[in-house]
Structure 1
């Protein structure tokens, strides 16, 4: 040891070494392996463990056996099950089984403590070693007893509905530290017993139900492990974590377990199941049980309902520490082991539903993930790691002394000195100083994680009391309630009163769980107080009530808002400004998670940050879990559209940034969808067959707003799929198909992932009509076929669409080839008169079919008046005019000015038209300003859930100027709006 050996310890070591050497001599045991170094290591071990000293004193041959086998000086975790299996193979009676288990445990407990106290094994290896020994003892004992029970009572059979009965085995779940492979040196083992299906035994004179059989098996297993005989015990068994606790049946069926947790599971049981792991039983039913229990532990989205439960548990811990005077307990006292576990598990419960990497039983692994993903600062995680190691080593030292499950620091000075020296300190005071330093850091972090936020709680005033009387149905007459709403400051009192009464007295609120009703009762006063601070409290409350109604059975989201007053304030403000935001959150309450960090809500990420974020989200999901991948993609899109909407209505994001953000989001999603779809298809059919040109690849091309980097919040995606594979080649998988079929199925999968309606809705509406030959054409075209079509068959309007075509995701070489085809087609020299005629006719057709009534009917109006509505996109003088002007310019002039083909967005093409002196500075400025104004108006209307039209007296100047430029360029005679 590094520390100087105090005299009392030196005396104890010398005394025990002398006694042991005398035993070796008296028993005539060979001492050739008993080297000086090993003697010193055993002296250290005997200093810290009277339990090991007693084993060595009673069975000195066991020490030499361990030395001879060489397992004192290496890890044995992976071999321990095989070693126990050999030891139990000769057992023919339960008594022999019990003796063999206890002898085995003594030997390996000696080995583990020796390695731990001499620091030959790190703390994590010690806990893994003890856990592996427990696993082996439980599983092999259960198997032995099962066979014995079957001989005596028959074999239990059962089946899922419609299946043939099959033999059933008991499932044993290890909980707590056992489940996490983190058992300490003298832990109890927390177990839950279960069996797959109901049924009865066969093959014995008397038939038993499966439950009766497995209860007897469970009782025998507990006896074999837990009984304290002359040889000691194997593991103390604790069954109190089972459903219904001590009053519940010892063993339940999987169905009964599922029903219990679904109907009666409590918050502390969610904590217990975080570390649950099946140890014994058939793999398939055991794994099915774990999957059934997972949704109870980990909510689908971020679970802020856990916060209130965390607070309750925190208070319970404090009361328990005070009541039992546990301040000297390094597990339960302040800054102890349980507080570290509590910190980590709180993040698991809150975020584990979304972040599957937090569905991990290991405390240290979870800490690493919390640090790597920004849940906790690195310094906090490092301090918690260091404290955990120190406290667990101290716990082992305490338990090694007498093989007792204790975490209480000794009061006896001699025991204090022995503990301090084993831990590497020369005095108790030095050890205590280091221990207290760790505990203070843990307590600080523990208090910070689930703070009471007393300072933030709003003070109650008279209106709160009145509101509680309203909500508690204590007012006798509706008139009193309406009068209160007037005094509070509402204007639409009748409407608001009706909606509040519908919520308060509605059927849903009467049928929700008591906890949910309590949360709503707590939330409503806070909501009223916040909406009264808004400029339009009536509108704010009416909209917020739709969100409240949408989460009546998921009130954990209300807890989020009660815990985060800034989030509630911003939510009220944004919903008051935008019915669209209100509707999105009411449909998808998980979006409330985004209000936790207000700074991020208004800060658009860069495209690389978006890609990294989505990559990390999908990395947590198994590659074969398509449903979860689709849900994750939908949440990703919804969250970022919400951020765009919030920034827009708050006036914190300009139009071009908004479109960039929405377009980047779509591009990021499309790239991931392509990767997922291709990965799934190649796993089934293999990779497309190569030819002389190399590896075939696939390309997603975006048209329209996606291609022009001009997506709005509700935009669909105009897509075209291209490949460069040889259709005569076959894929190289077991279920081989030709390349053409492979790429067609790839396109189908992409469309399926994007457009399928899941519980979170549709990812994007997809429009594939711009592909060659439209709806009648192939879903996926080869690049050669695409090129031929564009040169020989495409209409002018298809070349117009190609102006806004842009590669979104695919192989760089194929992207380059497509861009060359696009440039070549756009640069064809065209007859200007014919081109103008084609574009005019298509424009008038669109205005007739899609514009307002003033342009429908096949003819243009003589003049427009202020009474006519103006459709910002489709009416003459609107967005489509500007887009057609730009497309005409590219098709008409790019054969002489190839620079016009380099961009796909209207603004930059207009800038190039000015640079090339093809349009005047004034005309470009006019078109650019009008285009931005129109799009800004449409985005604003979208947030307000308004249509795409405005009254005739709006945007008059822009319309007039756009039509004037249109008529000049396209040789048209569209009438101007009336002045």
Structure 2
């Protein structure tokens, strides 16, 4: 050893604890007797600490000194490997092997060399945790695939190639489960495998056997090569117990058999296991086809809160085993251990993974990072869980690297404790252990936040007087039960008791499984207690029982409410405030998920945030899955309508802002519908083109909103009044696809497709009802109208009422250029010179006809919408004012909503400011009452005396301006 090398070694040795220094010095001395220490300064400086931390690495180097020279001399020790390098390394290692013994020996030598390299880089601090886990997993992948290919070639030499009934070669694949599947393999881990093959059949060789026999032999030989403990050790310990039926099941199964098993018999823990499943060897396409088919089994399309209870049960079993076997110091299974971090992430995956593509991840690190980005977990919790996971996994690797053994218990011997502390960067065990305890405490606290059971079970014996929750769990005398209801604020106790008994004894509850009934029995006392605190408990109970009747057999929703007291309280609060809300949630129970976080429930999104949310939802589904994307659109609309209604009911959102929110939701959805419909038609017929003045250009299509959407006054459940325009003119008006059609046909079909996407009845309801009768010529007109034809109609054929409707028209979807064309057309039409007397007469007669058809029939009631002095009178006055003054005051055409138009009319001098404000106040008052009537499911007719002052003011102005 050179003087410089000796100085490097001595300096590194001086930093070792006394308890480890002498053993390392002895190993170095022994190594010099059989080989040369590496020349690399990095290797020399790190050698004492690495060998002190891992006797396995030290002995492996002593056993094969040339291995250390090779790793160091070639620079392999100092750099990470790409996955492909492991594959190439295995191929080279077994290339000359002509027997099973030779293959087994070669793989073990290769594995030992790579484990030394990986451990060295980890212990020297040269590799991040993710690199270490990835390399260990890639090493396992390469060894499995190399051994598989070698044995398959040999078996095919004896029996021929396995083929299916059509004569196609049949693929065999290996699924890696657990940490191998997640590319998070630890240092001395078992590898959990499942074997599958594509189809039954038989081999085509002279010694023909069934495919199942062939692949069973292949699987057995693969396991033996990897798992057998020979003089040179093992490659990887193999565990096959995760396969269907466990040890009692067949070693190999066809894809169809595996798919049938999981779909018909798969249990919750198998869903949990399959989250990490990955094809690690063999026929990648065949294995991936199975995983794709099992995606609905793993990730349910609905929010599956049943999974939380199942995971809680699984964790309880582990805790019982930990206590029974005294494994409290187990950093994997003990409190605050690795498994608790994994359970937190996987709980969200199982519950929400079907709805959120970002959770369909094998890596727990990626899952936790995603939960942080989505605010599903607080930022500090994600940081502490990730920090804890990294610390615990490094600790696990370094424990196992000591002797290349699968251990998770903290060492008891002082020297081994010192090794672990040193490898984790601590001078003493007494410095390391408190840090580990702190990490585990934090992890366990976060685990408890996610998994802690909801409210403790009630102790019915603890109180002598029956409480509200006892009305469900105990058979109480009717008089006693009514008294309980009465003490809790119910005004109709007998009726409420009958409703509760009818629900409890009804067919929906009787048909529940034992688990379903148990969940309902946990929910109902909590629900009754929350209802008793509501403002109108009798009505709230009736509404919630109706809702429960629709969801009680879908136990995941019951589990959601049991597991989330916040969701339960918000449900009661909203249903108490509005029967419309109760009915909305009953129709679309998937919306119960929105109740989990009041921060988002009462904070409706504006335009860009809505567009981002919709895109995020759609990204989880391929573009060619039209049906599922249509369902996503409906869920998006229902969820955001719920948020708007919740904010409305809370009283914090003004009326006009409510309509703005609802309008934003509709326009974002409509824009996406247009995009979906266009792509669908373009895929079939190509793009529409036309030639104008010798220039070829793409024809454009846009959507015009009339009525409430056009006027920015959308309400709950409002229809969309739509007109479709295109600008195809000139020559060669045709699409450019293989199935080319005339542009008029293309745009008519496009409009039909939009109406279909909006109006199709699906599980999530109808997106929006559509009314297209305001298009030129009404029902007799073309569904999509060219701009020139639209202009001609509006100039020469349109009725006055159609120009009134145009006052509220806006361009809401399509290319901006066409929107500018429409704005010009609208400005020109509304700015036409008019005979004001004739105009006033037309508007007045149309209003009279509407009143005759829709007006109120009782002098004792006031119809807010159609009654004299009501909403329609104000709208007609505004429309007349715009049509009468737009030519001389073009600024009247800037807006389409009545409130701002009244302000503009006052500025223009058509009406004085006081009168304009009086109309605006009445309009806001009426519309606010209409909104509340919708949410309360009440008619829009009120007592005739209620708005007498406003009615008289509006009627007086009508007389002044219109008569």
Report what 1:441 is aligned to: 442
Partners of 1:230 and 1:447 lie apart in 2 by 46
Per the TM alignment, residue 187 of structure 1 is displaced from its structure 2 partner at its CA by 1.0
Contact 1:879/1:931, CA 8 A, preserved across alignment: yes
Per the TM alignment, residue 499 of structure 1 is displaced from its structure 2 partner at its CA by 4.2
Partners of 1:103 and 1:248 lie apart in 2 by 33
Deviations 1:134-164 (A, max 9, x none): 12222343344445455556655557xxxx5
- Structure 2 residue aligned with 1:917, among 893, 901, 909? 909
Provide the secondary structure at the position in 1 that maps to 2:366: helix
Report what 2:895 is aligned to: 903
- Structure 1 residue aligned with 2:53, among 43, 48, 53? 48
Provide the secondary structure at the position in 2 that maps to 1:72: helix
Specify whether residues 474 and 951 from structure 1 end up closer, same or farther in structure 2 by C-alpha distance, changes over 3 A only: closer
Report what 2:597 is aligned to: 597
Report what 2:5 is aligned to: none
- Structure 1 residue aligned with 2:79, among 65, 74, 81? 74
Provide the secondary structure at the position in 2 that maps to 1:702: strand
Residue 767 in structure 1 maps to residue 771 in structure 2: yes
Within 5 Å, give how 1:336-347 maps onto structure 2: 336-347=337-348
Report what 2:171 is aligned to: 169
Contact 1:3/1:425, CA 8 A, preserved across alignment: no
Q: CA RMSD in A?
A: 3.5
Is the deviation greater in 738-747 or in 370-379? 738-747
Contact 2:519/2:562, CA 8 A, preserved across alignment: no
Deviations 1:583-604 (A, max 9, x none): 1111211211222223433333
Contact 1:3/1:424, CA 8 A, preserved across alignment: no
Partners of 2:499 and 2:152 lie apart in 1 by 61
Partners of 2:138 and 2:798 lie apart in 1 by 70
Specify whether residues 460 and 537 from structure 1 end up closer, same or farther in structure 2 by C-alpha distance, changes over 3 A only: farther
What's the TM-score, normalizing by structure 2? 0.89
Contact 2:50/2:123, CA 8 A, preserved across alignment: yes
Per the TM alignment, residue 826 of structure 1 is displaced from its structure 2 partner at its CA by 0.8
Contact 1:2/1:424, CA 8 A, preserved across alignment: no
Deviations 1:71-106 (A, max 9, x none): 333332232223323444444544443333323322
Residue 193 in structure 1 maps to residue 195 in structure 2: yes
Per the TM alignment, residue 710 of structure 1 is displaced from its structure 2 partner at its CA by 0.4
What's the TM-score, normalizing by structure 1? 0.88
Per the TM alignment, residue 410 of structure 1 is displaced from its structure 2 partner at its CA by 1.9
- Structure 1 residue aligned with 2:16, among 5, 27, 39? 5
Report what 1:554 is aligned to: 554
Contact 2:161/2:203, CA 8 A, preserved across alignment: yes
Is the deviation greater in 395-404 or in 591-600? 591-600
Report what 1:84 is aligned to: 90
Contact 1:3/1:421, CA 8 A, preserved across alignment: no
Specify whether residues 66 and 905 from structure 1 end up closer, same or farther in structure 2 by C-alpha distance, changes over 3 A only: same
Report what 1:20 is aligned to: 31
Report what 2:141 is aligned to: 135
Specify whether residues 464 and 885 from structure 1 end up closer, same or farther in structure 2 by C-alpha distance, changes over 3 A only: farther
Report what 1:362 is aligned to: 363
Aligned residues: 947
Residue 571 in structure 1 maps to residue 571 in structure 2: yes
Contact 1:425/1:431, CA 8 A, preserved across alignment: yes
Deviations 1:258-315 (A, max 9, x none): 4444454433333222212222454444333223322333232333333333433444
Residue 865 in structure 1 maps to residue 859 in structure 2: yes
Partners of 2:140 and 2:431 lie apart in 1 by 35
Report what 2:9 is aligned to: none
Is the deviation greater in 636-645 or in 199-208? 199-208
Report what 1:178 is aligned to: 180
Specify whether residues 473 and 38 from structure 1 end up closer, same or farther in structure 2 by C-alpha distance, changes over 3 A only: closer
Is the deviation greater in 599-608 or in 952-961? 952-961
Specify whether residues 143 and 908 from structure 1 end up closer, same or farther in structure 2 by C-alpha distance, changes over 3 A only: same
Report what 1:381 is aligned to: 382
Provide the secondary structure at the position in 1 that maps to 2:79: coil
Specify whether residues 837 and 310 from structure 1 end up closer, same or farther in structure 2 by C-alpha distance, changes over 3 A only: same
Per the TM alignment, residue 69 of structure 1 is displaced from its structure 2 partner at its CA by 4.9
Per the TM alignment, residue 902 of structure 1 is displaced from its structure 2 partner at its CA by 1.1
Specify whether residues 781 and 68 from structure 1 end up closer, same or farther in structure 2 by C-alpha distance, changes over 3 A only: farther
Provide the secondary structure at the position in 2 that maps to 1:331: coil
Per the TM alignment, residue 895 of structure 1 is displaced from its structure 2 partner at its CA by 0.8
Deviations 1:193-215 (A, max 9, x none): 33445x44254688866555544
Partners of 1:58 and 1:474 lie apart in 2 by 77
Specify whether residues 758 and 96 from structure 1 end up closer, same or farther in structure 2 by C-alpha distance, changes over 3 A only: farther
Contact 1:200/1:207, CA 8 A, preserved across alignment: no
Per the TM alignment, residue 711 of structure 1 is displaced from its structure 2 partner at its CA by 0.5
Report what 2:4 is aligned to: none
Is the deviation greater in 204-213 or in 444-453? 204-213
Per the TM alignment, residue 822 of structure 1 is displaced from its structure 2 partner at its CA by 1.4
- Structure 1 residue aligned with 2:879, among 868, 887, 890? 887
Residue 804 in structure 1 maps to residue 805 in structure 2: no
For structure 1, the residue ranges without an aligned partner over 5 or more in a row are: 26-30, 855-863, 972-979
Partners of 2:950 and 2:13 lie apart in 1 by 84
Contact 2:108/2:232, CA 8 A, preserved across alignment: yes
Specify whether residues 358 and 807 from structure 1 end up closer, same or farther in structure 2 by C-alpha distance, changes over 3 A only: same
Per the TM alignment, residue 43 of structure 1 is displaced from its structure 2 partner at its CA by 4.4
Deviations 1:571-620 (A, max 9, x none): 22322332211111112112112222234333334434333433433344
Provide the secondary structure at the position in 1 that maps to 2:77: coil
Partners of 1:379 and 1:702 lie apart in 2 by 46
Is the deviation greater in 313-322 or in 831-840? 313-322
Report what 1:640 is aligned to: 640
Deviations 1:880-926 (A, max 9, x none): 33222211111111111222111100111112222222123454344
Report what 1:536 is aligned to: 536
Per the TM alignment, residue 656 of structure 1 is displaced from its structure 2 partner at its CA by 1.3
Report what 2:406 is aligned to: 405
Report what 2:713 is aligned to: 710
Specify whether residues 241 and 952 from structure 1 end up closer, same or farther in structure 2 by C-alpha distance, changes over 3 A only: same
Report what 1:125 is aligned to: 131
Specify whether residues 385 and 534 from structure 1 end up closer, same or farther in structure 2 by C-alpha distance, changes over 3 A only: closer
Is the deviation greater in 344-353 or in 244-253? 244-253
Specify whether residues 51 and 685 from structure 1 end up closer, same or farther in structure 2 by C-alpha distance, changes over 3 A only: farther
Report what 1:587 is aligned to: 587
Contact 1:648/1:654, CA 8 A, preserved across alignment: yes
Report what 2:112 is aligned to: 106
Contact 2:454/2:564, CA 8 A, preserved across alignment: no
Residue 938 in structure 1 maps to residue 944 in structure 2: no
Provide the secondary structure at the position in 2 that maps to 1:278: strand
Report what 1:239 is aligned to: 240
Per the TM alignment, residue 491 of structure 1 is displaced from its structure 2 partner at its CA by 5.8
Within 5 Å, give how 1:732-747 maps onto structure 2: 746-747=750-751
Specify whether residues 245 and 471 from structure 1 end up closer, same or farther in structure 2 by C-alpha distance, changes over 3 A only: farther
Partners of 1:335 and 1:289 lie apart in 2 by 35
Per the TM alignment, residue 481 of structure 1 is displaced from its structure 2 partner at its CA by 7.1
Is the deviation greater in 725-734 or in 71-80? 725-734
Provide the secondary structure at the position in 2 that maps to 1:760: coil
Specify whether residues 459 and 514 from structure 1 end up closer, same or farther in structure 2 by C-alpha distance, changes over 3 A only: closer
Within 5 Å, give how 1:384-395 maps onto structure 2: 384-395=385-396
Provide the secondary structure at the position in 1 that maps to 2:76: coil
Contact 2:585/2:592, CA 8 A, preserved across alignment: yes
Specify whether residues 500 and 176 from structure 1 end up closer, same or farther in structure 2 by C-alpha distance, changes over 3 A only: same
Partners of 2:945 and 2:896 lie apart in 1 by 32
Specify whether residues 778 and 171 from structure 1 end up closer, same or farther in structure 2 by C-alpha distance, changes over 3 A only: farther
Is the deviation greater in 870-879 or in 131-140? 870-879
Is the deviation greater in 956-965 or in 378-387? 956-965
Contact 1:726/1:740, CA 8 A, preserved across alignment: no
Report what 1:327 is aligned to: 328
Report what 1:504 is aligned to: 504
Provide the secondary structure at the position in 2 that maps to 1:173: strand
Per the TM alignment, residue 189 of structure 1 is displaced from its structure 2 partner at its CA by 0.8
Is the deviation greater in 233-242 or in 97-106? 97-106
Residue 820 in structure 1 maps to residue 824 in structure 2: yes
For structure 2, the residue ranges without an aligned partner over 5 or more in a row are: 1-11
Is the deviation greater in 199-208 or in 751-760? 199-208
Is the deviation greater in 290-299 or in 871-880? 871-880
Is the deviation greater in 8-17 or in 406-415? 8-17
